[in-house]
Structure 1
Amino acid sequence: MSEELTVASYLYIVLELLIAVFSVLGNVLVCWAVCLNSNLQSITNFFVVSLAVADIAVGVLAIPFSIAISTGFCSNFYGCLFIACFVLVLTQSSIFSLLAIAMDRYIAIKISLRYNSLVTGQRAQGIITICWVLSIIIGLTPMMGWHKPPDSSNSSVCPPGLMPCLFEDVVVMEYMVYFNFLACVLIPLLLMLGIYLCIFMAARHQLKFMEVKAVHGGKSRSTLQKEVQAAKSLAIIVGLFAVCWLPLHIINCFTLFCPECAGPPEWIMFVAIILSHANSVINPFIYAYRIREFRQTFRRIIRRHILRKQETFESGSSRRNSMRLKADGIHFDACTEHSSSNSSCESSCRSHISTVGGGLVAVSRPPLSVIISHCPKLGPCPLQALRHIRGGHHPLQYAEQEHDSAGQEVEEEARSAQAESLYDEQERKCCFIELANMS
């Protein structure tokens, strides 16, 4: 092996190790975020977690296997074949997860009224299980006989019974091109392309219909726009998957259809392999950049659970926690403002709270239209202000959302009354207990 190739091999190994580390860290963060934030525990994100698990396995197992194969270490034939096929299992699982996500988004936008009845958690778990079983069968097909015959011509290099483990010496290109690429990768990618085109066309038609008919459904329009935004993010992930994996499959096609052609330089193969593995690193960045809920949960995990920092606001800024209560069909707002100038929370809106009928309260300013109830880590619970004016037993209905007085946009959740909380469930319980006591 020449010095240039040796340098290329070392560079390849270093880059692969970096990809493995970032793949594991990023996708563990995705799984952690879904477990931590109940707003992320949707059917779509169940498939996202399945995709993240496959990417974690790429970093933990597939990349080390790939590095081992690149060195041509001595192995028995079937051990080498299993190592070569393992990454194919994970690739196929990623493909099926992406296809399931596309179908989920199609149902959510195209036939949204039947979404909750068609797409359930139990069905999603069953689909994920089927996807993994099919991926294992497809990826390990060469182990069932579709492989090259064992070759002992290099017995002088390795001990008796062993051979240099190289991908092209154990896996046949007919399997890689006809079965793995054309049937199990390209066709699903084309299906996903068609599904996302249908999604965007259907969403565009619905938005135009709302405008023409002057439909007064702010929530419906907002919900549809959020679904489209999520679909765009997931379509980007599919596109990046294709960009990352197609070069390696194209090289395999040239190898099969042009056997008399000179093989690609080693550095080109290294680049194609690195690009395919780098796809496992990309998805967490897409979630963080495109999906606000993921971005905020990532920030919370890093600050509170990794850096061990308390949630604080910037010096001199303030944040209002408000609450909308409903009794006898009438809404009333209560507000508590928390200042962070001295790293403490203060209640500064109580002077504006006045008693109205039924023992509820109303606030004269600021006029907030958001529905919110958050219990801060420091300072009094916003609902403590209501204790002394409790009167009557009116049922209180509430939901949660956050309003930032610095001008942060408030996004209403259409399918859930809950919104993201920057505080742990234990820290928020006091608010809910107060509501229950007042009801």
Structure 2
Amino acid sequence: MEFENITLPATTMTPTVIYPREATVLAAVCAIIFSIVGVLGNFITTVALLMHPKLRGHVTTKFVLSLCVSDLLFCAINLPLTSNRFIKEEWTFGPSLCQMFAFIFYGNVAVSLLSMVAITVNRYIVIAYYDIYSEIYTTTKIWIQLVLIWFVSFGLMIPPLLEVWGKLGLDRHTFSCTILPKDGRSPKKYLFVFGFALPCLVIIGSYSCIYWKVRESKRKLEGRSKLNGQTAKEKEEDSRLTTLMLTIFVCFLACFLPLMIMNVADDNVQYPWIHIIASILAWASSVINPLIYAATNRQYRAAYSNLLKFCKNNPVTKRTTWGSRTMGQSSNSPHYNEKRNPLKSDKPTKS
């Protein structure tokens, strides 16, 4: 999973494994554990959100589901192959699968980050531009954003996949499938800037704006029952959801930043143990999100609880009680405006 790119001297016929055996065993074990836990956690989260009527209708949930699907693919495809290559200390699945491995890995990282960008922008608009929120986030526009997230993320990997700019292949020195240079050219640095650094800056900037907007609103509207047209309870629900999404981004950054730093500062892998630990942290980013959902937000805990009850009891009887408890009327709810203004419930909705 490493991003490093090391070129062997032309006289070297057999690459020397640079990782200690203890490090590769640790990496293999962690990859297996993360694969099992990540597949179960992200699959359960996806099903729980889809089965919960109120969360399913939230705008933010659409982008959270995009994040879950991305993490699920990574845990189901990349991590099992990673565990095998660390156990055997070589890639044994052929060049075609090696290319697809790198394609899916880098594409998934981009999907995760762009999904977080979409979530952050959504949180900022609901707080700063609440009056036009429903006009911006119609069903059609949400789906356009989701399609663009996946299209752009994997579209960035088309040039190296087709060997137009760099290529996807095996770095025999580290037995990793990654982006390699072709004719002395590689898009890796540009992908790092536009696929990782730039989205991170957008997210950090958006959350900074959210912080100052909330601080300003509290100072100006202290003690009032409504903020920008929202009731106090609705504002509280949106604030909790924003805190949850900020926590997810901070954890993602904490997981991936060490690997980014090591691949820039130690491109020759002089500290293999640190590279292994940084890689393990990067893999953990696809596993921890369901734990964050359950630990920090009562709405998501309610979704997990309802799924558990559904599995234990008759599904027909449970359909009438999904989402009946612990759910405030957040501005993300698709029927939120109708419930606040029942006389306007017959007004046609945008699509």
Cα distance in structure 1, aligned partners of 2:155 and 2:188: 17
Q: Residues 195-214 of structure 1 correspond to what in structure 2 (within 5 A)?
A: 195-211=206-222
Residue 185 of structure 1 corresponds to which residue in structure 2? 196
Deviation per CA, 1:143-165, whole angstroms, max 9, x where unpaired?
232336989xx9xxxxxxxx788
State which of 284, 296, 299 in structure 1 corresponds to 2:302: 296
**Which structure features the higher share of helix residues?**
2
Residue 59 of structure 1 corresponds to which residue in structure 2? 75
State which of 96, 113, 134 in structure 2 corresponds to 1:95: 113
Q: Which has the higher contact order (CA 8 A, sep 6+)?
A: 2
Deviation per CA, 1:255-290, whole angstroms, max 9, x where unpaired?
45xxxxx52333322211111110011111111122
State which of 48, 51, 66 in structure 2 corresponds to 1:50: 66
Residue 167 of structure 1 corresponds to which residue in structure 2? 176
Post-superposition shift, 1:215? 3.2
Cα distance in structure 1, aligned partners of 2:314 and 2:177: 53
Residue 242 of structure 1 corresponds to which residue in structure 2? 253
Q: Residues 74-85 of structure 1 correspond to what in structure 2 (within 5 A)?
A: 74=92, 76-85=94-103
Cα distance in structure 2, aligned partners of 1:244 and 1:48: 18
State which of 267, 271, 275 in structure 2 corresponds to 1:265: 271
Cα distance in structure 2, aligned partners of 1:375 and 1:31: 20
Q: Residues 102 and 168 of structure 2 are in contact (CA less than 8 Å); yes or no, is this contact kept in structure 1?
A: no
* Residues 38/75 of structure 1: CA separation in 2 closer, same or farther (3 Å cut): closer
Q: Which structure has the bigger radius of gyration?
A: 1
Q: Residues 203 and 224 of structure 1 are in contact (CA less than 8 Å); yes or no, is this contact kept in structure 2?
A: no
SS of residue paired to 2:40: helix
One-letter identity of the residue aligned with 1:413: Q
SS of residue paired to 1:263: coil
Provide the alpha-carbon RMSD of the alignment: 3.3
1:147 paired to 2:166: yes
Cα distance in structure 1, aligned partners of 2:49 and 2:93: 40
**Consecutive unaligned residues in structure 2, runs of 5 or more:** 1-15, 337-351
Residue 22 of structure 2 corresponds to which residue in structure 1? 7
* Residues 68/141 of structure 1: CA separation in 2 closer, same or farther (3 Å cut): farther
Cα distance in structure 2, aligned partners of 1:150 and 1:28: 30
Post-superposition shift, 1:417? 10
Q: Residues 342-381 of structure 1 correspond to what in structure 2 (within 5 A)?
A: none
Deviation per CA, 1:174-217, whole angstroms, max 9, x where unpaired?
74752222221011101100101111211222222222xx5344
Post-superposition shift, 1:304? 4.0
SS of residue paired to 1:203: helix
**TM-score, normalising length: structure 2:** 0.77
State which of 283, 286, 299 in structure 2 corresponds to 1:280: 286
* Residues 72/295 of structure 1: CA separation in 2 closer, same or farther (3 Å cut): same
Post-superposition shift, 1:7? 3.4
Residue 151 of structure 2 corresponds to which residue in structure 1? 133
Cα distance in structure 2, aligned partners of 1:89 and 1:228: 31
* Residues 412/247 of structure 1: CA separation in 2 closer, same or farther (3 Å cut): closer
Residue 36 of structure 1 corresponds to which residue in structure 2? 51
SS of residue paired to 2:166: coil
How many residues of Structure 1 are paired with residues of Structure 2 in the alignment? Answer: 307
Q: Residues 85 and 139 of structure 1 are in contact (CA less than 8 Å); yes or no, is this contact kept in structure 2?
A: yes
% identity of equivalent residues: 22
Q: Residues 177 and 253 of structure 1 are in contact (CA less than 8 Å); yes or no, is this contact kept in structure 2?
A: no
Residue 427 of structure 1 corresponds to which residue in structure 2? none
One-letter identity of the residue aligned with 2:55: L
